[in-house]
Structure 1
Amino acid sequence: FFGNGLTTFLFDFNVNTFSVYFRVYLYSFSFQTPALICSEAFSVFLKKHCPVVAERFCPTPWCWGGRLQTLVCALLKSRPPVSYRNELIRTTDGGQISLDWVDNHTSETYPDSCARPTVLILPGLTGNSQQPYVLHAVSQATRRGYSMILLNYLARKRTESGIVAGITISVAWDALKSSDSMEEPLNWLLFNKHLTNGLCQKSCRHRKILEKVVDVDYVLKARTIREFDERFTSHVFGYKSCVDYYRDASPAKKLPHTAVPILCLNAADDPFSPQSISIVQTLPNVALLLTAHGGHIAFLQGLFPRGESYMERLFGQFVQAVFEHPKDIERACGIAKDEPSQQHSDGGGEKPSRDVSSQ
């Protein structure tokens, strides 16, 4: 009898403990709607065509904190099957660019390949077309009928880039502050060390070419991303120091020079991006969606977060909104477009390309 009573007590205690934890979780997280920072007109457009921006974001309850979200996403995220067509382009300096295409010839929405919108994805540091977040983004786009290409020139070319809009996920807006955050002991152990090793491995793989311009042995001794950039990246691109390179490379400096609609998703607990951007309040074409939690390229939801995440739902809705309501988003962002030529407006001639860039 005592044993059964003790078992019942422990069971009731555990149930009550879980109930208390779940109520605390609901109070702490489920009533938090991400902060949408942008012009009123852009906000109206997003809330109308991307309803996920107004939803409450409830992160996976057992993924507590940005670091755990980031790690779990990298380890447990599912990988939807994607078939790529690879294209290699040789550059004038002897290098080559590798493009992975998803032509989506089975698209029922856009059966004509010349009229099919294209989504351009630029993976992050050491990323590639096989990353889970890339595969899920491809899945979101292809199910809506679009083509994909995985390969930044929004700021440099402005409206002449051929890009009609952009979406960024977990961008580190200030490279110097991001580097400081990544060198904190726990962040170095969990992330910085691994990424640095990956960069060194790539350098070692191309040693014969790189040793013509850098001391490869010195580069391979780097223990942080900052050390690698000091010894390799900044040197190769002609900067006097890593600090100069980081100042020039920080994306926050480039936002004022963009001229297409851009939606930026960041999490306040992202170890890679410790500080959000405030300049968006003065830019009519830029919107910042800031969640309290979500980590770096994670934003996991549900008890078993292997499938579609918050960021992937946002990606799919925004891309669809851009392609299906181009005039609305141009007006919302105050972007003036040249009138199409007669051959475009009357249905004749080559149709202009429509691309969305994702980083």
Structure 2
Amino acid sequence: MSGMIQKADFRPPRGLANPHIQTLLPLLLPRDRVRLDTELLTLPDNDVVELSWTQPAPKDARAPIMVLFHGLEGSIDSPYARMLMRTAANMGWRAVLMHFRGCGRVPNRYPRSYHAGETADAYWMLSQLTRRYPNALKVAVGVSLGANVLLKLAAEQGGDGLDLAGAIAISPPLDLAASADAINIGFVRCYQRHILKSMKRKVIRHLEDGSLDHLDVQKLRELDTFWAFDNEVTAPLHGFGSATDYYQRASSGFMLHRIELPTLILHAADDPLMPRHLLDRLPMPSRSVRIEMAEHGGHVGFIEYRQGLLRPWLARRVAQQLENWRCVPGRRQQVQPLGRNQPLD
């Protein structure tokens, strides 16, 4: 696949190319200020997901909409979320972030949570947007785990199954098993420990209320890798036979050839959560998929030096793509596919 990847125009500042520096830099930069309104959306099984809408909202019901799906244990408070929401709002778009179950300020009601292959909630939320804003152009953006969910959803629904003009996937873990291995090596284990701590807190709440009976608190605390957690918690809770079964069935990388929706994937070759040459081992993507690979950038980092300041390249690249896809509201057929990727220079 390497010959079908286009080179991204991201360039890290001198001395800041290290993938861990790039990954952590967004946490150190000033946080974007965004006015938000919160909505609880009831799902078909009577659970809820929390939506965050930028304010003030466009008065025109035909204003384009950007839908954002966050990463593992992310939320509207994640730096990339606020940055992308503000970027879209400043362009006159209606912007909304869907928190996966349990990731908002309001806990979800049932033990069932979210995972990298869970697309039903996202599909339901998009269908509600279509009911409310039938004539608005819509683009979905996914980050990390949310990017995997978005790519899988696009593959499942075909060209006409989603009311979307396009999709942008940022740093998706295309092969979940490979990512679970990568995050268990060296310094990256720090990320794993931090995320697992948050995930375990949510499971403990369900253990205490008796809604989970196949696990106890002590055993949960001993799970120290994603492999172990997904094997003992994620897989049995969501109908998978094992972590291996979950990773195989939920990884979007094996479905890229099925995507018909115009799709842009932004990745960094040095992403510490993905083996460097993973793309070479995946099936060839469809003609609707464009992959832009930067040599540096880390995982959802991509901080560049521009106008005398450290700034997020993702804001600039996503804004460019949103503008490219913007057309007469409700006229989705005018949006052109991204077309065949060009070789790396």
- Provide the TM-score with structure 1 as the length reference: 0.70
User: Using the alignment, how far apart are the partners of 1:310 and 1:241 within structure 2?
Assistant: 38
User: Using the alignment, how far apart are the partners of 2:305 and 2:46 within structure 1?
Assistant: 48
User: Using the alignment, how far apart are the partners of 1:155 and 1:175 within structure 2?
Assistant: 16
Corresponding residue SS for 1:302: strand
Q: Post-superposition shift, 1:173?
A: 0.8
Q: Post-superposition shift, 1:228?
A: 1.1
Q: Post-superposition shift, 1:331?
A: 5.2
Please name the residue that 1:87 is paired with.
39
User: Using the alignment, how far apart are the partners of 1:210 and 1:90 within structure 2?
Assistant: 23
User: Using the alignment, how far apart are the partners of 1:315 and 1:126 within structure 2?
Assistant: 22
Distance 1:62 1:333, change over 3 A: closer
User: Using the alignment, how far apart are the partners of 1:216 and 1:63 within structure 2?
Assistant: 43
Gaps of 5+ in 1: 1-34, 44-52, 335-359
Please name the residue that 1:117 is paired with.
64
User: Using the alignment, how far apart are the partners of 1:213 and 1:147 within structure 2?
Assistant: 42
The alignment status of 1:233 with 2:234, answered yes or no, reads yes
Distance 1:155 1:216, change over 3 A: farther
Distance 1:104 1:320, change over 3 A: farther
User: Using the alignment, how far apart are the partners of 2:258 and 2:213 within structure 1?
Assistant: 32
User: Using the alignment, how far apart are the partners of 1:163 and 1:70 within structure 2?
Assistant: 29
Please name the residue that 1:71 is paired with.
24
The alignment status of 1:277 with 2:317, answered yes or no, reads no
Q: Which amino acid aligns with 1:101?
A: W
Please name the residue that 1:193 is paired with.
193
Please name the residue that 1:174 is paired with.
175
User: Using the alignment, how far apart are the partners of 1:322 and 1:36 within structure 2?
Assistant: 25
Preserved contact between residue 101 and residue 148 of structure 1 (Cα < 8 Å):
yes
User: Using the alignment, how far apart are the partners of 2:334 and 2:310 within structure 1?
Assistant: 31
Preserved contact between residue 256 and residue 285 of structure 2 (Cα < 8 Å):
no
Q: Post-superposition shift, 1:143?
A: 1.1
Preserved contact between residue 165 and residue 261 of structure 2 (Cα < 8 Å):
yes
Q: Post-superposition shift, 1:280?
A: 7.3
Q: Which amino acid aligns with 1:90?
A: T
Preserved contact between residue 262 and residue 285 of structure 1 (Cα < 8 Å):
yes
Q: Between Structure 1 and Structure 2, which shows a larger proportion of strand residues?
A: 2
User: Using the alignment, how far apart are the partners of 2:21 and 2:3 within structure 1?
Assistant: 24
User: Using the alignment, how far apart are the partners of 2:231 and 2:210 within structure 1?
Assistant: 15
Corresponding residue SS for 1:243: helix
Please name the residue that 1:344 is paired with.
none
Preserved contact between residue 36 and residue 289 of structure 1 (Cα < 8 Å):
no
Preserved contact between residue 37 and residue 289 of structure 1 (Cα < 8 Å):
no
Q: Post-superposition shift, 1:251?
A: 1.3
User: Using the alignment, how far apart are the partners of 2:283 and 2:290 within structure 1?
Assistant: 6
Distance 1:238 1:77, change over 3 A: same
Q: Post-superposition shift, 1:63?
A: 2.1
Alpha-carbon RMSD across the aligned residues, in angstroms, is 2.7
Q: Post-superposition shift, 1:36?
A: 9.0
Q: Post-superposition shift, 1:204?
A: 2.1
Q: Which amino acid aligns with 1:205?
A: R
Please name the residue that 2:314 is paired with.
311
Which whole-Å deviations, capped at 9, do the CAs of 1:140-186 have from their partners, x for residues lacking one? 11111100111143222232211210001111111111111111132
User: Using the alignment, how far apart are the partners of 2:84 and 2:234 within structure 1?
Assistant: 29
Which whole-Å deviations, capped at 9, do the CAs of 1:13-72 have from their partners, x for residues lacking one? xxxxxxxxxxxxxxxxxxxxxx9946xxxx8xxxxxxxxx764x3212232421221122
Q: Post-superposition shift, 1:269?
A: 0.7
- Provide the TM-score with structure 2 as the length reference: 0.73
Q: Post-superposition shift, 1:206?
A: 3.7
The alignment status of 1:248 with 2:266, answered yes or no, reads no
Please name the residue that 2:93 is paired with.
146
Q: Post-superposition shift, 1:77?
A: 2.4
Q: Which amino acid aligns with 2:268?
A: A
User: Using the alignment, how far apart are the partners of 1:272 and 1:305 within structure 2?
Assistant: 30
Aligned pair count reads 279
Gaps of 5+ in 2: 99-149, 341-345
Please name the residue that 1:62 is paired with.
15
After the TM superposition, which of the residue ranges 291-300 and 324-333 deviates more from structure 2?
Answer: 324-333
